[in-house]
Amino acid sequence: MNIFLNILLYLVLAPLTGGLLAGLDRKITARMQSRIGPPILQPFFDVLKLTQKENLVVRRSQNFYIGFFLVLVIFTGALFFTGKDILLVIFAFTLAAIFFVLAGFKASSPYSFIGAHRELLQMMAYEPVIILSAVGMYMVTRSFYVSDIVSFSRPLIYYLPGILFGLLYILAMKFRKSPFDLAASHHAHQELVKGITTEFSGKALAMIEVAHWYENMLVLGFIYLFFARLPLAGALLSLLAYFLVILIDNTFARVKWQLALLSCWLVTLIFGFGNILVLFILRK
């Protein structure tokens, strides 16, 4: 019964919280740029308006892939927030991203096509550190289950500071923010316009926005795991990480994909793999 209650709470609270964070993002960004900005509830108004628009598509199959993307993101979050195997969570999360990429390829637009290519490059950049985070958590807790990781006796930050730094480094990429808004952008201010989502409109674009809200909450959930023994502090620090990404988004220019890929791999190698190596040596 508790599992079904957790799933129900996740289905309702995750998009609400994700939408509110998106609204705060817009408001804070506007203030940083000396603007008033839209209301905090504007993301919900935008999604509601999109659902009422005509559904125009280049190919019907592109919306089919977006539907699977949304379903898999929700499924992945349900696994995570009910304490299931974190490896299964990561694999399902990656599969959801692949369906998003396939939708971009299906749109047959040069902007969405290049955006889909860059999305694949970003997956190559951030997946290694996500996999290493699961390995590090297993080395500390001797379990891949999120429920066991959350209930571990001490905060994981004591054992995995390097891996946490690696995850924080890729946050801008997962949130599609500068300097890593290569494949898609929440603002039409780059040579790819809206990137992988350029050719989507109506209900499909609304599903993408809602999926991103679920996705953002899942990513923040990963950050929370490092402070799970301190629930209030963990929640506050996860939110702090989100607002740090907003600050970086408004401070740094977008980098080229080559630098994004190389820098993520270097951070993964030095901090992520280095952290794993230190744990291995200490446990011998």
Contacts 24+ apart (CB under 8 A), 149-154: 149/86, 149/225, 149/228, 150/83, 150/225, 150/228, 151/228, 152/228, 152/229, 153/229, 154/229
Q: Residue 101's pLDDT band (boundaries 50, 70, 90)?
A: very high
Separation CA 275–CA 162 (nearest Å): 5
pLDDT at 235 (0 to 100): 92
Burial of 24 (0-12, 13-18, 19+ CB in 10 A): middle
Per-residue pLDDT tens digits for 36-50 = 889 999 999 999 999
| % pLDDT > 90, the chain | 64
pLDDT at 112 (0 to 100): 84
Per-residue pLDDT tens digits for 50-93 = 999 877 777 777 888 999 999 999 999 999 999 999 999 999 99
Higher pLDDT, 284 or 128: 128
Helix 60-81 × helix 202-225 angle, to 10°:
20
